[in-house]
Structure 1
Amino acid sequence: LCRATQALHTRGRSDERRARLAAWVETMDASPVAMAPEESNEQHYEVPSAFFAEVLGPHRKYSCSYWGEGVTSLADAEQAALEISCERAELRDGQRILELGCGWGSLTLFMASQYPKAQITAVSHSRTQRETILELAAERGLTNVEVITCDLNDFEPPDAGQYDRVVSIEMFEHMRNYRELLRRISTWLTPQGKLFVHIFCHREAAYPYVDNGDPNDWMTRHFFAGGMMPANDLFQHFPDHMRLEQQWRWDGTHYEKTSNAWLHNMDLVKARCWPLFEATYGEDAQRWWGRWRLFFMACAEFFGLEGGEEWWVSHYRFSNQRSQANEGLDDAGASASGSD
């Protein structure tokens, strides 16, 4: 399946591949900000939080962790990834920070603890995630966290134009109209504000996850409705409102190790998690247990393909074009790339 997907999206001459990407950008521009948010929510984020508390690491980071030299535990890999993200986002104490797509609160709570004078506003379309994050914040004595449950199609932050930073970890993969979302983000930020984005991506192709009824479309059907695989350079097609300052890359082996760690944890805690699956899925509990295991295995295989050089994780930091325009800078943007 990994090889077939690779062949499908890298077929043809380079000019043909560029034309497909350009056509996809046009499709994105004609789309709503997010596709099928309610279906995605039902698929992936309404599983009891206790399952993720058992399977994820101590920070409950439901995204790629960073396995640097000597790192052998998921806990240390999560910690490293959170520290790197905060550094690259240029976060500082006292800032007003808006997080889009906060998951189970790994970055939200990390930022709140690291920057106690900062005001953190996190957005999720899952009520379960909001409840979990607020419970954990209360347990840890964190009073600088607000969590909003909202569909990104309709979201308007309470303090638009006043945020120093907008951060997003593996949320843009669930979005569709990047140009419009980036326009909105530029209005939510201060003129000097910045955006940090962490996505998984393909080295050159961008494509939607679709369900055509084929058995091989199981990931879309059960886990990723409305999602897309961005291309590494996809953001360069939307320079209108946010200027790309810098870009970094983690090769796919970091996600391979992360997914395998989740799978390992899932197998270890089956006795504790099985009642959750029976309560959630009823007679389909065994089938869904197998689907979750297969999901983690497939993610590991995809990101591990070609030594992590086919699909990987990219980080981007953008500055607000509202500030750049005032200073008469080139709207085309610029970037410097790096790899860990």
Structure 2
Amino acid sequence: MLSDALLEIGYRWIDRGLIPDFVLRRVIRALLRKRLREIDYGSVEANHASTMKWIEDARGRERIAELTQKANEQHYEVSTDFWLSVLGPRAKYSACLYPTGKETLAEAELLMLESYCVKADLRDGQTILDLGCGWGTVTLFLAERYPNSRIVGLSNSSNQRAYIDEVASVGGLDNVEIITADVNTFDFEGTIYFDRIITVGMFEHMKNYESLFAKVARWLRPRVEGVDSDDSLLFIDVFCHAKMPYHFEDADGWMTHNFFSGGTMPSHDLFVYFQSDLTLVRSWFLPGTNYACTLRDWPKRLDAAEAVRNELQRVQNDGMQSEGNIMFQRWRVYLIACFEMFNMDSGEQWGTGHYLFKRG
């Protein structure tokens, strides 16, 4: 087991880029095995009791999401130029779909987006909310594919809104509206309802799912008595552990401090326990190998993009090693660590959960 002192030395070496990748990967795998031991309480009974305790704690949380500003600083207010250099052509900051493992990043992005359309039963003419819209990956894709639909994107990042607005304007997509707001306090005024709500890569930052589901249910179009109409649906894409939920702060380490403050790792079955306002229609588990392939391709672009280094190196630290160099090394290690997590045990430990809910 690695001592705290050794880990602290390792963190300093990470910032200086001194750890060879093959050593780094072995250490990460050891830490992941340690995490698996920590969340295994020895029996099905004990694991279930722990999950029930976790759920009760989540229901009692005061806020839907915690440390939202920290999440912005760590991910979503990072330079758009940085992200466009690292991600694929559609700027999808979540798992892509690799049925054979040989797809290009661009092909895998498109395959996953198309799978959302099928699973969420999307059709032209619907009013669709992209909840936690990121850099507009889903919003812009749906606006192109469904020109008669109204697509509303919601995120708490002003950088993301500026980027999406610019791309939509250049592309002549007049069916797009982007809102910058905090999901803790935001609500739609009046009688604005959505036929579909799509959320990708947002629920990892949430805590009180009971309150979140209640709020989202109010945004879905209600059925009208005596009128034959389709159910309004919520589709969720979220990374998850196959069996056990946990908070990232439960292991207050390098990943939590630098990249997932206030973050959550749901278990694949977690949302089954939050059906007071929404009813689960169907769920899917995608092996982590899909995310691992995504995380195989992103670091290649990170290492190859000179623009990334230049962007991160704009801030200098009194003539010493630039803050930008440190951030470059941290991002690189973060992506490698995530690859190892989702690749572990052939993707059977951590993966991606897809869920389809209807208004209760």
**TM-score, with normalisation over the residues of structure 2?**
0.85
Q: CA deviation at 1:161?
A: 5.0
Query: Aligned letter for 2:323?
Result: D
Q: Deviations over 1:164-206 (max 9, x none)?
A: 0111001111011111111111111112311000011001110
- Tell me the residue number matched to 1:251: 287
Q: In structure 2, what is the Cα distance between the partners aligned to 1:206 and 1:160?
A: 35
Q: In structure 1, what is the Cα distance between the partners aligned to 2:81 and 2:157?
A: 15
Q: In structure 2, what is the Cα distance between the partners aligned to 1:112 and 1:157?
A: 21
- Tell me the residue number matched to 1:105: 136
- Tell me the residue number matched to 2:69: 38
* 2:163 aligned with 1:128: no
Identity rate of aligned residues, in percent?
38
**Paired residue for 2:46, among 16, 19, 23?**
16
Question: What SS class does the counterpart of residue 267 from structure 2 fall into?
Answer: coil
* 2:102 aligned with 1:63: no
Question: What SS class does the counterpart of residue 250 from structure 1 fall into?
Answer: strand
- Tell me the residue number matched to 1:328: none
Q: In structure 2, what is the Cα distance between the partners aligned to 1:70 and 1:36?
A: 35
Q: CA deviation at 1:212?
A: 6.4
- For the 8 Å contact 1:66–1:80, the answer to whether it is kept is yes
- Tell me the residue number matched to 1:50: 81
Q: Deviations over 1:70-115 (max 9, x none)?
A: 7420000000000001111111111111111111111110010000
Q: In structure 2, what is the Cα distance between the partners aligned to 1:18 and 1:211?
A: 18
Query: Aligned letter for 1:308?
Result: G
- Tell me the residue number matched to 1:204: 243
Q: Deviations over 1:109-142 (max 9, x none)?
A: 0010000010011111110011011111111111
- Tell me the residue number matched to 2:307: 272
Q: In structure 2, what is the Cα distance between the partners aligned to 1:134 and 1:123?
A: 12
Query: Aligned letter for 1:21?
Result: T
Q: CA deviation at 1:159?
A: 5.7
Q: CA deviation at 1:279?
A: 2.1
Q: CA deviation at 1:280?
A: 4.9
Q: Deviations over 1:185-234 (max 9, x none)?
A: 11111123110000110011101011766xxx111111111010000000
Question: What SS class does the counterpart of residue 279 from structure 2 fall into?
Answer: strand
Q: Point out where structure 1 has 5 or more consecutive residues left out of the alignment.
A: 322-340
**Paired residue for 1:91, among 122, 132, 145?**
122
Distance 1:19 1:86, change over 3 A: same
Question: What SS class does the counterpart of residue 282 from structure 2 fall into?
Answer: strand
Q: In structure 2, what is the Cα distance between the partners aligned to 1:265 and 1:168?
A: 26
- For the 8 Å contact 1:161–1:187, the answer to whether it is kept is no
**Paired residue for 2:199, among 168, 172, 176?**
168
* 2:264 aligned with 1:228: yes
Say which is worse superposed, 90-99 or 64-73, in terms of deviation.
Answer: 64-73
- Tell me the residue number matched to 2:331: 292
- Tell me the residue number matched to 1:82: 113
Q: Point out where structure 2 has 5 or more consecutive residues left out of the alignment.
A: 1-30, 223-230
- Tell me the residue number matched to 1:2: 32
Q: In structure 2, what is the Cα distance between the partners aligned to 1:71 and 1:138?
A: 34
**C-alpha RMSD over aligned residues:** 1.4
- For the 8 Å contact 1:63–1:169, the answer to whether it is kept is yes
Number of paired residues?
317
Q: CA deviation at 1:25?
A: 0.5
Question: What SS class does the counterpart of residue 186 from structure 2 fall into?
Answer: coil
Say which is worse superposed, 196-205 or 159-168, in terms of deviation.
Answer: 159-168
**TM-score, with normalisation over the residues of structure 1?**
0.90
Q: In structure 2, what is the Cα distance between the partners aligned to 1:212 and 1:180?
A: 25
Q: In structure 1, what is the Cα distance between the partners aligned to 2:260 and 2:101?
A: 33
- Tell me the residue number matched to 2:26: none
- Tell me the residue number matched to 1:26: 56
Distance 1:159 1:200, change over 3 A: farther
Query: Aligned letter for 1:290?
Result: Q
**Paired residue for 1:240, among 271, 276, 295?**
276
Q: CA deviation at 1:160?
A: 4.8
Question: What SS class does the counterpart of residue 42 from structure 2 fall into?
Answer: coil
Q: In structure 1, what is the Cα distance between the partners aligned to 2:259 and 2:347?
A: 22
Question: What SS class does the counterpart of residue 155 from structure 1 fall into?
Answer: coil
Distance 1:309 1:151, change over 3 A: same
Question: What SS class does the counterpart of residue 190 from structure 1 fall into?
Answer: coil
- For the 8 Å contact 1:160–1:187, the answer to whether it is kept is no
Q: CA deviation at 1:277?
A: 0.4
Q: Deviations over 1:245-302 (max 9, x none)?
A: 1111210000001011000110111x22112102257531111111000010000000
- For the 8 Å contact 1:71–1:77, the answer to whether it is kept is no
